Amino acid sequence: MQLTDKVALVTGAGSGIGRACAIALAEAGAQIVAVDIDGKTAADTASTIAAFQRKSLGLQADVGDLADIDRMVRAAIEAFGRIDIAVNNAGVTRRADIMDLTEADWDRIHRVNAKGVFFCLQRVAREMIPQREGRIINIASIAGRGYAGTSNAAYAASKGAVISLTKTASQQLAKHNINVNAICPGVTRSALSDANLRVRAEQEGVTLQEMERRRAAVIPLNRANDPEDIAAMAVFLASPGARNITGQCYNVDGGLITS
């Protein structure tokens, strides 16, 4: 229970990595603000956490909208009085070749993945600065490090932005005792990645099972991540053991890339 009495806000908490992070942080003792663009799934995550005897709040918010970001943070502060941990996880993508991407794709992806992460980080930092402590964990991707199997180039660019943001934010917020780190997942089983896998299976004319086999075969450890693998790293980065770690971007990818 390393996080007892800490308050954690997790975006994209309705499913996948975000839901796993919210649950794992709760299991470590934290109280949770579960945020998702789908208010029902956010409420479902909050209800699951309540079963652990942890205080929780489910909120609907669009992290691409600054007014929504402000509203969600105000609601969190009203309910819990503080925010100690923020996991900026909400993200979007689609499977597309570089020559098929549109301006609408670019704007949609960067609105959530880059703009949303930056302004969520900035807004929670406004609450953490007077506290003189905080942990901000951004969910990037090995796509931002040049992984060839990325869903598309715009997504890779957005996650590269998250990696750069993490490094600069860590330097500028360190004087306030705020740690900023990122996790770069590799192939991870989630609704988002499964949708991309189905598209690839259709494009290549093979079964979904065959695509799953191919996906695992290129990973040195021969297995894709479960969302809980990412959540375990998030709990560590939020824990006292990571108090002197900041500005780092950790790959959790089964050995797919080594830089």
In the set 80, 147, 155, 236, the catalytic residue is 155
Tokens 């943001």, residue? 165
CB neighbours (10 Å) of residue 101?
A: 16
250 as an active site residue: the answer is no
Alpha helices per DSSP H over the chain = 16-27, 39-50, 66-80, 103-110, 117-131, 153-173, 191-204, 208-217, 227-238
Lookup: tokens for 147: 């992984």
CB neighbours (10 Å) of residue 164?
A: 15
Q: What angle do CA 248, 251, 252 make, to 5 degrees?
A: 130
- Asked if residues 75 and 7 have their Cβ atoms less than 8 Å apart, the reply is no
Q: What are phi and psi of 153, to 5 degrees?
A: -70, -35
Q: Would you please indicate which residues are annotated as catalytic (active-site) residues?
A: 155
